[in-house]
Amino acid sequence: MQHFIQIKITKIKKIMNYENKQQEEKKRIQKKQNGQQANL
């Protein structure tokens, strides 16, 4: 049982980590787009 819980926690951490990366990527892309608009 303990092992199963550990696997679930690891999966959740991986998913959260992945979502955080996606958010960071979105922010970076938005900053790039904002920068390009400012240059125009």
Q: What is the pLDDT of residue 38?
A: 67
Taking the C-alpha atoms of residue 7 and residue 23, their distance in angstroms, rounded to an integer, is 24
Would you call 4 exposed, middle or buried from its count of C-beta atoms within 10 A (0-12, 13-18, 19+)? exposed
Task: Please give the model's pTM, rounded to 2 decimal places.
Answer: 0.62
For 14-40, what is each residue's pLDDT tens digit?
Answer: 999 999 999 999 999 998 888 877 666
Taking the C-alpha atoms of residue 7 and residue 26, their distance in angstroms, rounded to an integer, is 29
Supply 29's token pair. 């892309």
> DSSP code of 40?
-
